[in-house]
């Protein structure tokens, strides 16, 4: 779907559902990662994540557009346009717009972290660190001996 088709769809949804014209720009923004779309307060433009249409189809796209148009029309009218405002929640219910979009990014579980182990050359004290140390710059805190790299583990 092109930006022109998206703009036409936004204008159509605005007229049909809200009974008001949409007089600004609407376009896809592929830099959006976790959100379905966003309403820009300063420019009044609406940006939509193209993954919404690719992954979930037209119904989900129309839902995101309705949600962003709720922000748009309430902001233009000077009413409460934020998620926490009663005006916004009321308009969401009235227009049957979703409060959240479907998940766009897959969760892969916990992030894999590394564990670096260092050993003091003098007193044999072990140091476990998440971040790699410069052994020329740092010394043992107990005896001021030189630190030696021992091992690297990948932790889940």
Give me the active site residues, please: 68
For β-strands 46-48 and 26-28, DSSP reports them as parallel
How far, in Å, CA of 94 to CA of 124, rounded?
69
- Structure-derived torsion over alpha carbons of residues 90, 93, 96, 98, reported in degrees to the nearest 10: 90
- Other CB atoms within a 10 A radius of the CB of residue 8 amount to 12
For β-strands 37-39 and 113-120, DSSP reports them as unpaired
Phi then psi for 108, rounded to 5 degrees? -105, 15
How far, in Å, CA of 2 to CA of 67, rounded?
20
Do residues 66 and 74 touch, judged by C-beta distance below 8 A?
A: no
């Amino acid at each position: 779907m092109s930006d022109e088709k998206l703009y036409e769809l936004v204008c159509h949804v605005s007229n049909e559902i809200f009974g008001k014209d949409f007089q600004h720009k609407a376009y896809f923004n592929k830099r959006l990662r976790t959100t379905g779309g966003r309403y820009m307060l300063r420019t009044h433009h609406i940006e939509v994540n193209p993954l919404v249409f690719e992954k979930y189809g037209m119904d989900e796209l129309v839902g995101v557009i309705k949600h962003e148009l709720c922000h748009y029309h309430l902001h233009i009218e000077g009413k409460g346009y934020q998620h926490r405002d009663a005006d916004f929640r009321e308009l969401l219910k009235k227009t049957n717009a979703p409060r959240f979009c479907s998940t766009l990014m897959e969760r892969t579980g916990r992030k894999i972290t590394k564990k670096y182990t260092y050993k003091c050359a003098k007193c044999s004290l072990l140091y476990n660190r998440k971040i790699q140390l410069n052994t020329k710059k740092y010394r043992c805190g107990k005896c001021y001996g030189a630190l030696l790299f021992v091992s690297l583990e990948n932790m889940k």
